[in-house]
A and B are shown apart, each in its own frame.
Chain A
Amino acid sequence: MLQRLYDWVDERLDITPIWRDVADHEVPEHVNPAHHFSAFVYCFGGLTFFIIVIQFLSGMFLTMYYVPDIVNAYESVKYLQGEVAFGMIVRGMHHWGASLVIVMVFLHTLRVFFTGAYKKPRELNWVVGVLMFFILMGLGFTGYLLPWDMKAYFATVVGLQMAESVPIIGTLIKTLLSGDPEIVGAQTLTRFFAIHVFFLPAALLGLMAVHFIMIRRQGIAGPL
């Protein structure tokens, strides 16, 4: 039954080559930890992807309870953490995932750098990777405010002060982020929420797609 359904779709859309290309591409020996244990350094990229998937999933579940306004944000997080079944685990995974993903990206970047994998013809993929690194930092910064507790509020105040001290465009950046040149309040929280939940994840998804398509096109860098 399933096979016939698949054949029906495949006859019309010819989907087999799409997934066969991903499934059948050969993984070279030098990145396979089964052949050389030291090749575990090639796992960092995959683990980064793994954590990002977890971040997307746990984040989606968090928004089922989280309320992005200054009256209810804190209470909703507290409720999620204390009352909701597995809420502590979901929030915990999102919290620790945010740190782990930075660690993994850092290690992945170092691996790519020290194996010289960013050299011609892979320059563009390196650039996309660094951009994703910036986006992840931005996700960390904007996500930190959302629980609206003391730590969140004051770390954001400091972060916005830093942005403000950029010459010429500083105040503009601050206003863009916090919704007001002076106040860090209700607007700031909703803006950070929008940036954290819509803008940056969308950008991240797009860049991840580009990153992976480029890997498939160019193949993994050869052994040293």
Chain B
Amino acid sequence: MQRGKGMKFVGDSRVPASGRKPNIPKDYSEYPGKTEAFFPNFLLKEWLVGAVFLVGYLCLTAAHPSPLERLADPTDSGYIPLPDWYFLFLYQLLKYEFVSGDYVVIGIVIIPALSFGALLLAPWLDRGPERRASRRPIASGMMLLAVLAVVYLTWEAVENHDWEAAAEQGEMLDDEAAELAEQVDTEHEGYQIYSDQGCIACHGDQLQGSGAAGPSLFDTQYDVDTIKNIAVEGIGEMPPGLFEGTDEELQILAEYIASGGGAQEGESGEDGASAEDAAGEETTEESDEE
């Protein structure tokens, strides 16, 4: 190999052989016949490794299409989030008492800063000339410990996560279910009251509202008690005294509206949760689904 104007380099490097640099391998002329040129000889072998790897990679891609859950709904407070798997160790770490709450600084700053800082500065923390892992037990031990900790934390996070609930809560709704979620349950007792009490005149037959006269109730943010108040006392342009039914009917109506017209939101956990909330202490366990 032509190496410039009589320059002598160390090994396969571009570092001149002046004896200034330690820890650089001997010249490869000392291993006759065992070295090979990068291109094309060695690259061809790497290419083969890459091809085998690519086949596995494509099989994975074909066997497991990348997941897509339903459209983000920031109001769904019942959703249990989970970061991608390579952040799970940090996610799990922050669940422990002594690194969260009042001590969150320890979990979020001190531990990560120490461990990633140590990783970054490893060459200056482990300065000895020895390269073999077995001859620098402290460095190797710490690294092993860190790897075990990361593996353990990730494992724990996976163990503690309710995968079935997670699969359900994010499930994409098919067209039929999505349509149902947009429609109110007209078979519901609440709908009967809604219609009998005349709410339907201003707020529409799908709780969709009718422009200026009555706003949409479909996604109302009010809770059951507020809705009861408004139905009796009115709000804004809505006059008081429109509701003339019994307290029991009022309760059913308010729960019905708060639950989004008994919308059948597939199996998403939110609906059940909010319906339960709405029921409160009242024993009117109106199952507004199905």
Cα A110 to Cα B150 with chains together (Å)? 13
A166: min CB distance to chain B, Å: 6
Give the chain B neighbours of A206 by CB distance below 8 A.
Answer: none
Cα A25 to Cα B86 with chains together (Å)? 36
Give the chain A neighbours of B26 by CB distance below 8 A.
Answer: 222
Which of A1-9, A115-123, A190-198 touches B?
A115-123
Knowing A47-B50, A121-B23, A224-B132, say if A150 contacts B73 (CB, 8 Å): yes
Candidates B25, B37, B58, B130; contact of A221 at CB < 8 Å? B25
Q: Which residue of A lies closest to B73 (CB)?
A: A150
Which of B13-21, B155-163, B246-254 touches A?
B13-21
Cα A50 to Cα B52 with chains together (Å)? 12
Tell yes or no: A84 within 8 A of B by CB. Answer: no
Cα A131 to Cα B2 with chains together (Å)? 35
Give the chain A neighbours of B81 by CB distance below 8 A.
Answer: 151, 154-155, 157-158
Interface size class of A (residues with CB under 8 A): 35 or more
Knowing A154-B79, A219-B10, say if A114 contacts B140 (CB, 8 Å): yes
Give the chain A neighbours of B129 by CB distance below 8 A.
Answer: 119
Give the chain A neighbours of B108 by CB distance below 8 A.
Answer: 162, 165-166
* B68 near A96: Cβ-Cβ < 8 Å: no
Give the chain A neighbours of B41 by CB distance below 8 A.
Answer: 27
Give the chain B neighbours of A216 by CB distance below 8 A.
Answer: 13-14
A24: min CB distance to chain B, Å: 5
* A218 near B15: Cβ-Cβ < 8 Å: yes
Bits for A106-142, please: 1 = Cβ < 8 Å to B, else 0.
0000100111111111110011001100100100110
Knowing A81-B65, A100-B57, say if A29 contacts B35 (CB, 8 Å): yes
Cα A184 to Cα B75 with chains together (Å)? 12
* A149 near B143: Cβ-Cβ < 8 Å: no
* B83 near A144: Cβ-Cβ < 8 Å: yes
* B84 near A217: Cβ-Cβ < 8 Å: no
A58: min CB distance to chain B, Å: 10
Interface size class of B (residues with CB under 8 A): 35 or more
B103: min CB distance to chain A, Å: 11
Cα A26 to Cα B11 with chains together (Å)? 8
Cα A25 to Cα B40 with chains together (Å)? 11
Give the chain B neighbours of A34 by CB distance below 8 A.
Answer: 45
Give the chain B neighbours of A223 by CB distance below 8 A.
Answer: 25
Cα A12 to Cα B11 with chains together (Å)? 31
Knowing A113-B122, A155-B83, A223-B25, say if A149 contacts B170 (CB, 8 Å): yes
Cα A184 to Cα B81 with chains together (Å)? 15
Cα A46 to Cα B136 with chains together (Å)? 27
Q: Which residue of A lies closest to B49 (CB)?
A: A43
* A27 near B12: Cβ-Cβ < 8 Å: yes
Candidates A96, A119, A134, A224; contact of B66 at CB < 8 Å? A96
Tell yes or no: A23 within 8 A of B by CB. Answer: yes
* B38 near A153: Cβ-Cβ < 8 Å: no
Give B161-210 interface residues, CB cut-off 8 Å to A.
Answer: 169-170
* B38 near A149: Cβ-Cβ < 8 Å: no
Q: Which positions in A face B, CB cutoff 8 Å?
A: 20-29, 32-35, 40, 43, 46-47, 50-51, 54, 70, 74, 77-78, 81, 88-89, 91-100, 102, 110, 113-123, 126-127, 130-131, 134, 137, 140-141, 144, 147-155, 157-159, 162, 165-167, 184-185, 216-224
